Structure 1
């Protein structure tokens, strides 16, 4: 009855309007005098009000032990912290606790609620951004592959941009910025980051202090300011942290099946554009409208392009290989044992000696592979022709069939000298395209001119444009001229025996 609002209201009305006395109401409704007084003092049932916490005779002396366990858990890995059941088991085994698990759970939940951190809501002025990487799994060319995806967000408009890369590293970090700036149509004035080693070279206290050289190069080009959050304080850039999860749940579930990462990045960019049509709770317009407003506060994009790359110094070894990002790439053997500068972007690796690019290779994102360019070893092969059939750089070199025919004919006619002549023919690929040389070899085989000089001339002849007739139509001033035939008698002196 004490929770029945209808009776509560009726009793208050009858007594307070003096229609009935308190004594009559207590007799009619079988109420205690104190209960009636409570009804008259409160317009609605106040509910149960506990004056003091209930005593826990079996648990009270174990509360300091429980609190100590939970305090120590703060220093342990999240996946190796005590559960309620584990605390209960330890109390029974180690401390002879005889109570139940329910009161232990209540004590743990009360401690966690009392010590949980409370965060201050942050203001997000227009023009400021946050950036971070997340991880996801895609099925790339039929194989499950872990990839890193870059997310940059503008908290004021809630616009964000997402791109997938093979790995989180300097060049993908820079490339993600370049693409995000183009997507937003400008450069944020200030960007918040965590303390990744990609961006931070030195820490002072709990915050990054000294940016890396490549990060400063990026910042100098686009002229934005940086802000490094406190270590393990992701709430300082909580907006992008939330969007990392949003992008994974909405753009990468179910697991994407893709053949090329760049094709998938086009899909992600389209998804980010479509997301701009949403209207957020409490906002007067869509995210696209807010972004157009925010674009007025962004810095303009520089006219000069920025190269996202990583530069490392290295030295070519005795096999004419240079190591970059755990993979080995070949350079011409003339540069073996030389110092080399390796420049890698997301597409290729350039190897530079004395400001000259001596080799280019497609970028390999798998680890500990070796990449040879057969052309880099032809000069060495000419000095060591016996390694022609055993050279590892030539193992998977697919040449047109005419090359094999030429080699067999040369070696059949000249033995070892024929092999050397074939290697000299291969060296023509240092200046000619493979298709050009193949056509010249086919012509040489047809006319029996099986020397490197003849094949070089045939290749050059194939490059020359054929002469065309000069029409005299419409040129009457030239039609009256005659060109006398040449006299070839002077060439007779070159014949054996002199002139005849």
Structure 2
């Protein structure tokens, strides 16, 4: 399997240099079918399908799987004193006599060992010269007023130095999920993708900074994202702030012109609408060097942008976590209560920029809610008593 750097190189030769498949094979030495696969097809991350198969996961009595029946028996037993709980033999006998189970005693023991060995009890606790079509990107820190209190948010700012047009999106943090989701939103606002994107040494995109004779190394996720949207990522040279002076100036311009009076923040969607309306109105002024309106130069420059792909890039990550004695998980340095999971249980999280899903051992979504960072600023925090009654949080998705 090829690395993301190799895949990006193949796509660049195909889409930018116009190489035929045979010429790419000659240049790289890769198999023709491999080259065709990566040159002409999207390379997207796939969501895992971890649904298990076997007799314990076969539906039997009243549409329940035998595993679910065992889960229920163990759940009921967890409320009893240890000496009053059923042994594995007793559970196997109940399955055979009451549910027509044909499997072996050993199969039942293995299922219990694999899925319930960490559940101890039920009790839970509450708690330069710039060609048209080239972009520059950077984060900035800004203050907003939320329910009478001053809060800090991040703005991901995209500028096009040729026209001085800018777009921005408010985000809770600078991690990979926020960064790539923010880029998707900015490309959608611009109705196109820059041919090249110059960035600072952002931790969400860069593994090794450029300098001392070494080239920058981008993360696999960022390389895959860039290959899908077909732009060329360029890392800024050290001690060369002028290489992205356009976006650094724009970060300050936004602060001094739109945040001089601290704006009111209700949630991300209306705030981003307000901010980009301000930037669109601002484009009706004369360019600082050219005798044209920014909006006029932008109309010229936007024709040089790459088309948005038909399929949007899905941004998420999987991570395994363990509930504590309060039935909580730790996510983004915050504790989040997960209803009806039990304490000291391992669960799989699928984490997006603004929400997460909690997936059980057979791949079913058992809880979905807003991330702690998203709730902290947007106020989408669920009451604990309501959480204990409902297994899902209702969320409005900005993107």
- TM-score of the two chains, using structure 1 as the length reference: 0.47
Rounded Cα–Cα distance in structure 2 between residues aligned with 1:307 and 1:217:
11
Contact 2:323 2:329 in 1 (8 A): yes
1:163 to partner: Cα distance? 2.1
Contact 2:355 2:370 in 1 (8 A): yes
1:185 to 171, 187, 191: 191
2:286 to 279, 299, 303: 279
Rounded Cα–Cα distance in structure 1 between residues aligned with 2:150 and 2:381:
27
2:365 to 348, 357, 360: 357
1:305 to partner: Cα distance? 2.3
2:304 to 278, 283, 297: 297
Q: Which has the higher helix share?
A: 1
Residue 307 of structure 1 aligns to a residue whose secondary structure is coil
1:372 to partner: Cα distance? 10
1:155 to 161, 167, 175: 161
Rounded Cα–Cα distance in structure 2 between residues aligned with 1:188 and 1:272:
18
1:238 to partner: Cα distance? 0.8
Alignment of 1:250-269 (within 5 A): 250-269=257-276
Rounded Cα–Cα distance in structure 2 between residues aligned with 1:211 and 1:143:
38
Residue 205 of structure 2: aligned partner: 199
Residue 215 of structure 1: aligned partner: 222
Residue 229 of structure 1: aligned partner: 236
Residue 340 of structure 1: aligned partner: 347
Contact 1:140 1:258 in 2 (8 A): yes
Rounded Cα–Cα distance in structure 2 between residues aligned with 1:228 and 1:205:
10
Rounded Cα–Cα distance in structure 1 between residues aligned with 2:148 and 2:341:
40
1:281 to partner: Cα distance? 4.2
1:350 to partner: Cα distance? 1.3
1:321 to partner: Cα distance? 2.7
Contact 2:168 2:276 in 1 (8 A): yes
1:134 lines up with 2:140 in the alignment: yes
Residue 452 of structure 1: aligned partner: none
Residue 257 of structure 1 aligns to a residue whose secondary structure is coil
Contact 2:210 2:235 in 1 (8 A): no
Unaligned runs of 5+ in 1: 1-121, 375-392, 399-425, 432-500
- TM-score of the two chains, using structure 2 as the length reference: 0.58
User: Per-residue displacement from partner, 1:61-107 (whole Å, max 9, x unpaired)?
Assistant: xxxxxxxxxxxxxxxxxxxxxxxxxxxxxxxxxxxxxxxxxxxxxxx
Rounded Cα–Cα distance in structure 1 between residues aligned with 2:329 and 2:131:
47
1:309 to partner: Cα distance? 3.6
Rounded Cα–Cα distance in structure 1 between residues aligned with 2:159 and 2:346:
41
Rounded Cα–Cα distance in structure 1 between residues aligned with 2:276 and 2:318:
28
User: Per-residue displacement from partner, 1:219-257 (whole Å, max 9, x unpaired)?
Assistant: 233121111112343221111011111111111111113
Residue 295 of structure 1 aligns to a residue whose secondary structure is helix
Rounded Cα–Cα distance in structure 2 between residues aligned with 1:364 and 1:132:
24
Unaligned runs of 5+ in 2: 1-127, 393-399
Rounded Cα–Cα distance in structure 2 between residues aligned with 1:221 and 1:148:
25
Q: Which has the higher contact order (CA 8 A, sep 6+)?
A: 2
1:181 to partner: Cα distance? 0.8
1:245 to 247, 252, 275: 252
Contact 1:330 1:359 in 2 (8 A): no
Contact 1:150 1:165 in 2 (8 A): yes
What RMSD, in angstroms, separates the aligned Cα atoms of the two structures? Answer: 3.1
Rounded Cα–Cα distance in structure 2 between residues aligned with 1:189 and 1:338:
46
User: Per-residue displacement from partner, 1:284-327 (whole Å, max 9, x unpaired)?
Assistant: 53222222222222111111223344443323345443222112
1:363 to partner: Cα distance? 2.0
Q: Larger C-alpha radius of gyration, 1 or 2? A: 1
Contact 2:141 2:153 in 1 (8 A): yes
